[in-house]
Chain A
Amino acid sequence: MSEERHEIRLSVNGASYELSIPARRLLSDALRHDLGLTGTHVGCEHGVCGACTVLLDGQPVRACLLFAVSVQGQEITTVEGLTKPDGSLGNVQQAFAECHGLQCGFCTPGFLTTITAGLRDNPTPTHEECREMVAGNLCRCTGYQNIVKAVERAAELGSEGDA
């Protein structure tokens, strides 16, 4: 007996996609496999590592803890949506490049979305607030020092130009 499929429409990075998927399809898998947006990564599937973090109506959420069918009608932003329309890097991405805030790059998309929302809500964070902003994301490569620097640099870039 085949599994029931649900016809849903997902709005991701400003574009609308129609999908026919089972209810149990996690948002992380729908983004990656059904939409081919493989920038969102899966590190644990139990909500702890943060690699799958995307923005849902602008708020960071774990894509591995959501079912795609449950977020119809909401605006999803993935790492791919952080790049500017002309293909250049957004402030947070640029800051990571300057500060060597990534090594293998696997956890990075989760940090980028989290920090993008964090700086939007708090454009002038203190050093402690910068650390708190990334306190829910795991990284095994960088040891976090340069990630925190990247948050601070991104805040700087945000205040220099347009956010």
Chain B
Amino acid sequence: MKPAPFAYHRPTTLDEALATLAADPHAKVLAGGQSLVPLLSMRLARPSALVDLNGLPGLDTIEVSEAGVRVGALARHAEVLASAEVRRSQPLVSLALGHVAHATIRNRGTTVGSLVHADAAAEMPVVLTLLGGSVEAASVRGRRTIAAADLFLGPLESSLAPDEIALSAFFPALPAGAGVAFEEIARRHGDYALCGVAALADGESVRAGFVSVSDVPTVVDLTGVPAGERGEAALAQLDPQGDIHATATYRSELVRVLTERVVQSAMESRQARSPEDS
């Protein structure tokens, strides 16, 4: 399985990268490539050119502030996962990243790349949505911040323009007194989830985000729903589909089971967490 031919650019500055993208509407950005390269090899995607970001300086940073975690375009999943500062600031990012593929894929794949790939079966898009994060995008026209709620349009479709590069993603910090949890069920260790749930519980609200249950990352508000009814309440707002690995009915059952488990776990971690941890 070999890719169709494409032109290759290895810009040394961001401006160069943006100009190249602007000049060729069928060019695509290459960062981690762990999602893109198989598509090229299977000839499911045929960009005219690849703009390789791997030579650009300064894009691999991971910045942790009081506000939260900003992950640069070239920060590899493995680096973000290994960061103790990230874990302290927003543990949900670390929890979810541990479920992304296998360690070897995480060594090269980028968290920003995974977000922009906009696969609702991936872990990070719904985490970004649940946390109310955002992506910083740049083009020859300037920069803009895209809120997670506006980022995911459809299956594998983000709202990034063809000539835009996502420079970084921002995950807000976990506030004091809030708790998070993440769990997924997959057929094999490291596979795409049959169903995954990320939950965020703070003083006022309880929300859960779902992996592999819909076309776009979906967050459900479960505030005030008592334990034992959360699964059903979530299901009422979701429409799980079937595929060769799980029927819609079975997937729905996984939604029920995991919603209860993960929301409970998030609420319990809320109590366990002290204000000094944020």
Which chain A residues have a beta carbon within 8 Å of chain B's beta carbons? 3-4, 6, 22-24, 26, 29, 45-47, 50, 53, 56, 59-62, 64-67, 69-70, 114, 135-136
Report A101 CB to chain B, min CB distance, Å.
Answer: 18
Specify which chain A residues have a CB less than 8 angstroms from the CB of B2 in the assembled complex.
24, 26, 29
Specify which chain B residues have a CB less than 8 angstroms from the CB of A6 in the assembled complex.
8
Instruction: Tell me whether B1 and A45 are in contact (CB under 8 A).
Output: yes
Among A45, A64, A69, contact of B8 (Cβ-Cβ < 8 Å) = A69
How many residues does chain B have at the interface if contact means C-beta atoms less than 8 Å apart?
Answer: 30
Specify which chain B residues have a CB less than 8 angstroms from the CB of A29 in the assembled complex.
2
Report B49 CB to chain A, min CB distance, Å.
Answer: 9
Q: Mark B45-67, 1 if CB is under 8 A from A, else 0.
A: 00000101010000000000000
Report A137 CB to chain B, min CB distance, Å.
Answer: 8
Specify which chain A residues have a CB less than 8 angstroms from the CB of B7 in the assembled complex.
4, 23
B225 within 8 A of A: no
Among B6, B42, B54, B107, contact of A46 (Cβ-Cβ < 8 Å) = B42
Among B10, B41, B107, contact of A61 (Cβ-Cβ < 8 Å) = B107
In the complex, what distance in Å separates the CA atom of A46 from the CA atom of B36? Answer: 10
Specify which chain B residues have a CB less than 8 angstroms from the CB of A69 in the assembled complex.
8, 10, 52
Instruction: Tell me whether A60 and B104 are in contact (CB under 8 A).
Output: yes
Specify which chain B residues have a CB less than 8 angstroms from the CB of A45 in the assembled complex.
1, 38, 41
B25 within 8 A of A: no
Among A47, A50, A53, contact of B34 (Cβ-Cβ < 8 Å) = A47
Instruction: Tell me whether B108 and A70 are in contact (CB under 8 A).
Output: no
Specify which chain A residues have a CB less than 8 angstroms from the CB of B30 in the assembled complex.
67, 70
In the complex, what distance in Å separates the CA atom of A70 from the CA atom of B4? Answer: 17
Among B5, B37, B54, B189, contact of A65 (Cβ-Cβ < 8 Å) = B37
In the complex, what distance in Å separates the CA atom of A61 from the CA atom of B34? Answer: 10
B11 within 8 A of A: no
Which chain B residues have a beta carbon within 8 Å of chain A's beta carbons? 1-8, 10, 30, 33-34, 37-38, 40-42, 50, 52, 54, 78, 101-105, 107-108, 189-190
Instruction: Tell me whether A114 and B104 are in contact (CB under 8 A).
Output: yes
Specify which chain B residues have a CB less than 8 angstroms from the CB of A59 in the assembled complex.
78, 107-108
Across chains A and B, which 5 residue pairs bring their CB atoms closest together, nearest first?
Answer: A136-B102, A23-B8, A46-B38, A59-B107, A24-B3
Specify which chain B residues have a CB less than 8 angstroms from the CB of A60 in the assembled complex.
103-104, 107
In the complex, what distance in Å separates the CA atom of A2 from the CA atom of B214? Answer: 44
Specify which chain B residues have a CB less than 8 angstroms from the CB of A23 in the assembled complex.
5-8, 50
Closest-by-CB residue of A relative to B32 is A65
Instruction: Tell me whether A65 and B34 are in contact (CB under 8 A).
Output: yes
Closest-by-CB residue of B relative to A110 is B104
The verdict on A70 contacting B3 (CB below 8 Å), with A26-B41, A136-B102 known, is no
Residue in A29, A62, A66, A69 with the greatest tally of chain B CB atoms within 10 Å: A62
